[in-house]
């Protein structure tokens, strides 16, 4: 049985903003699609066609989607938070339970696969719009390429956080970044998807709430002397966050520094001896529920850290300075804001930040 007295998982009072930001939107999902500034979804809809510049790729819709399929949890949660569950024909590729406050909305949408579905499985859902968080999902070697969907008349959109300038997805592994990801890119995805569905007012409301949560979490925070390490998965050859993805955005927001900010790889695999040399002050652990790597859950990660000779004497391990976040918080998504809240609260709880 693991000791838990020094773990930091955000208390309910800190998680409540996630419920607040989605409560009104989830209710909207249960009502008519035309409410809350939405355009009608049938016939020659007013305001269409709509064209989105998606990382240099033009995505054009002649009407609001009625049978959207989201191929990653990040894009799924954006659509659900925008109150669009009734316009979704399927979801896929999950690492965590759905974001708090969205459980009822998610339950009404078919899950095509817990992991990556086949192209045929997606087509069986008869989608009229497909979206994904990663080029590796909606690209060569993934479910299918955008072009394959578009040849069938299905517009396809990829999160700009993974395909915009500065992200190189051909550099191996999970890619690398020449420019740091900013939350503005995540806000831009929310606005893009809101525009696709004709619910721009909901998109602006969601972005405003996300910005307010970041301000509330980081106001007056000073953690400039604190080094953080982010461990996503795998104990044999761990995936640790490089400088410039979602963990980088979290680190900059709380004013700390990343122990591996000298690598631009998104999720480099780094040996434990190198980790011991860096000796981070706090370890942020992805608490995943999937089963595709070793040490997915935070419990498994902590067990490894406290028994492995290369890690058990790390300062963060000796003092059990662990902050638990969802896997989705470590990806560019709505949950990155949740990650900022949890890391900020954890640093304060450990007495490492004012």
pLDDT in tens, 107-140: 999 999 999 999 999 999 999 999 999 999 999 9
Q: Are 132 and 26 in contact (CB under 8 A)?
A: no
Cα(185)–Cα(183) distance, integer angstroms: 5
What is this structure's pTM?
Answer: 0.88
For residue range 326-353, list pLDDT tens digits in order.
999 999 999 999 999 999 999 999 999 8
- 63, 41 contact by CB (below 8 A): yes
* Position 19 pLDDT exceeds 50: no
Query: How many residues in the chain?
Result: 354
Q: Do domains 15-213 and 221-349 have the same CATH topology?
A: yes
User: What does pLDDT average to over the chain?
Assistant: 89
Lowest mean pLDDT among 25-34, 83-92, 107-116, 211-220: 25-34
The three-state secondary structure class of 293 is coil
The CATH number that domain 15-213 falls under is 3.40.50.1980
Annotated domain spans of the chain: 15-213, 221-349
pLDDT digits (tens, 9 = 90+) for 182-207: 999 999 999 999 999 999 999 999 99
Could you name the CATH architecture of 221-349?
3-Layer(aba) Sandwich (3.40)
The CA distance from 216 to 196, in Å, is 30
In degrees and rounded to multiples of 5, residue 123 shows phi and psi of: -65, -30
Distance CA 239, CA 234 (A): 6
Is the pLDDT at 11 greater than 60? The verdict is no
Give Dmax (Cα) for the chain.
Answer: 65
- Do 183 and 246 contact (CB within 8 A), yes or no? no
């Amino acid at each position: 049985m693991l000791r838990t007295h020094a773990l930091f998982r955000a208390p309910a009072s800190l998680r409540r903003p996630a419920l607040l930001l989605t409560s009104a939107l989830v209710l909207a999902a249960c009502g008519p699609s035309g409410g809350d500034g939405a355009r009608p979804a049938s016939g020659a809809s007013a305001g269409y066609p709509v064209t989105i510049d998606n990382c240099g790729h033009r995505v054009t819709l002649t009407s609001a989607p009625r049978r959207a399929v989201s191929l990653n949890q990040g894009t799924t949660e954006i659509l659900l938070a925008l109150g669009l569950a009734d316009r979704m024909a399927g979801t896929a590729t999950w690492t965590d339970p759905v974001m708090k406050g969205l459980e009822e909305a998610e339950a009404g949408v078919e899950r095509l696969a817990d992991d990556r579905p086949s192209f045929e499985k997606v087509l069986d859902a008869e989608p009229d719009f497909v979206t994904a968080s990663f080029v590796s999902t909606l690209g060569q070697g993934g479910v299918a390429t955008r072009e394959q969907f578009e040849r069938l008349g299905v517009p396809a959109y990829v999160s700009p956080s993974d395909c915009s300038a500065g992200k190189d997805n051909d550099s191996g592994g999970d890619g690398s970044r020449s420019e740091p990801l900013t939350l503005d890119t995540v806000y831009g995805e929310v606005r893009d998807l809101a525009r696709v569905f004709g619910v721009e007012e909901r998109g602006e409301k969601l972005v405003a709430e996300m910005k307010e949560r970041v301000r509330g979490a980081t106001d007056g925070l000073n953690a400039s002397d604190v080094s953080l390490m982010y461990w996503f998965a795998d104990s044999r050859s761990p995936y640790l966050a490089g400088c410039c993805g979602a963990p980088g955005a979290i680190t900059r927001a709380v004013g700390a520094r990343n122990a591996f900010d000298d690598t631009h790889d998104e999720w480099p695999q780094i040996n434990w001896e190198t980790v011991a040399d860096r000796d981070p002050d706090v370890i942020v652990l992805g608490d995943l529920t999937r089963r595709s790597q070793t040490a997915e859950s935070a419990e498994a990660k902590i067990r490894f850290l406290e028994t492995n000779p290369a890690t058990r004497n790390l300062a963060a391990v000796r003092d059990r300075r662990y902050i638990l976040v969802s896997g989705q918080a470590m990806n560019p998504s709505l949950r990155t804001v949740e990650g900022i809240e949890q890391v900020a609260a954890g640093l304060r709880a450990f007495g490492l930040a004012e």
